[in-house]
Amino acid sequence: MNTHRLIRHLLVCAALPLCALAADKPLTVGFAQTGAESGWRIANSNSMKNEAQARGVTLKFVDAEGQIKNQFAAVEGFIADKVDAIVIAPLVETGWEEVLGRARTAGIPVILTDRNIRTTDTSDALWAAFIGSDFLAEGHKAAEWLVANAGTRSKIVELQGEAGSSAAQGRRRGFIEVASKTGKFKVLETVVADFRRDKGKQKMAELLKKHGREIEVLYSHNDDMTFGAIEAIEEAGLVPGKDILIVSFDAVKDAVKAVADGKINCTVECNPLFGPPVFDVVQKIISGQKIRRTTYNEDHVIDASNAAALLPTRKY
Ligand code: AHR
């Protein structure tokens, strides 16, 4: 190890007491992705892969296919491979203590991205940094939009994302916190559709069958489920965006277009392009620089007032 590497190594080890000995080679980073459930997710995976390539980082990419056991196994594999850092987009919030404890023992820094986790140990022992979205704030924004724009409509059905994920929990809780203050809204039913278009369609068709024209608002935790629901709404002979007000999340390009076309009334942005900030933080950790532990996206609300203007520059 040359002098520069030795100094860097000592700095890293000061920040991470059990860090592995950094070798004189390009970085290898393991990324445990949730799956490929949505357009948002594909954009997120591409951002990570493109940024790794641009920086000459070897990326070991594992798609957990929506299964938490696969994601835990991916992290175990990265530890066995002695990667320089592990990045995780956690499928669910809980159950991470054991595997992250093993990464810590191996001296491998863990960076959480997109979604957060809940552990009893909240010190920086289990993970070094989080770069993602503030889902509670997103839920607040969606509810604030609805409060301002619902008019006389008050009866809501909710399509929920992956149960146990911080994305679904935050969007649900944030929405209820704001909407319940008005005393006006009623959630007729909440169903889980896993952030997937096919399930969004299936669940919305069931909800329409059960509640019919009582449904005045669809609150859907992502654009993919929303697109599926729109198909079901149209097949039921109703007009999305008019007969049923639609509030969604992500703001992928097609959804922004659907807002401009009046099929979706509002989509709260959730930027998936985490590649650059994630690899910035990985490189800072490896070179022993100070990092900010938690960094949130700044997400905007997109509705009829700004959708058309945003479309030409939409990156995902
Ligand atoms: O965690 C972010 C959410 O996960 C996105 O809203 C959704 O599209 C994705 O699958």
- Among the residue ranges 18-22, 56-60, 127-131, 193-197, the one predicted with the least confidence is 18-22
For ligand 1, the distance from its centroid to the CA atom of residue 14, given in whole angstroms, is: 35
Q: What are the pLDDT digits (tens) for 204-226?
A: 999 999 999 999 999 999 999 99
Q: Residues with Cβ < 8 Å from 147, sequence gap 6 or more?
A: 178, 179, 182
Tens digit of each residue's pLDDT (9 = 90 or more) over 76-126:
999 999 999 999 999 999 999 999 999 999 999 999 999 999 998 877 779
Q: How far is the CA of 105 from the centre of ligand 1 (A)?
A: 31
pLDDT recorded at residue 24 = 56
Checking if the pLDDT of 140 tops 50, the result is yes
β-pair partners for 88: 32, 112
- Residue 123 confidence (pLDDT): 77
Pocket test for ligand 1, best of 222, 249, 273 (most atoms within 8 A of CB): 222
Note the pLDDT tens digit of each residue in 152-171.
999 999 999 999 999 999 99
pLDDT over threshold 80, residue 15: no
- From ligand 1's centre to the CA of 22, what distance in Å? 34
Q: Ligand 1 within 6 A of 249 CB?
A: yes
Q: pLDDT tens-digit profile of 258-271?
A: 999 999 999 999 99
pLDDT at residue number 22: 45
* pLDDT reported for residue 4: 37
Ligand 1 binding pocket includes 114 (Cβ within 6 Å):
yes
The type of residue at 1 is M
pLDDT above 60 for 19: no
Dig out the tokens for 87 from the structure.
């990045």
pLDDT at 183 over 50: yes
DSSP output for 53-105: HHHT-EEEEEE-TT-HHHHHHHHHHHHHTT-SEEEE--SSSSS-HHHHHHHHH
- What's the CA-to-centroid distance between 115 and ligand 1, angstroms? 9
Stated pTM of the model: 0.92
DSSP letter for each residue of 23-37:
PSS--EEEEEE--S-
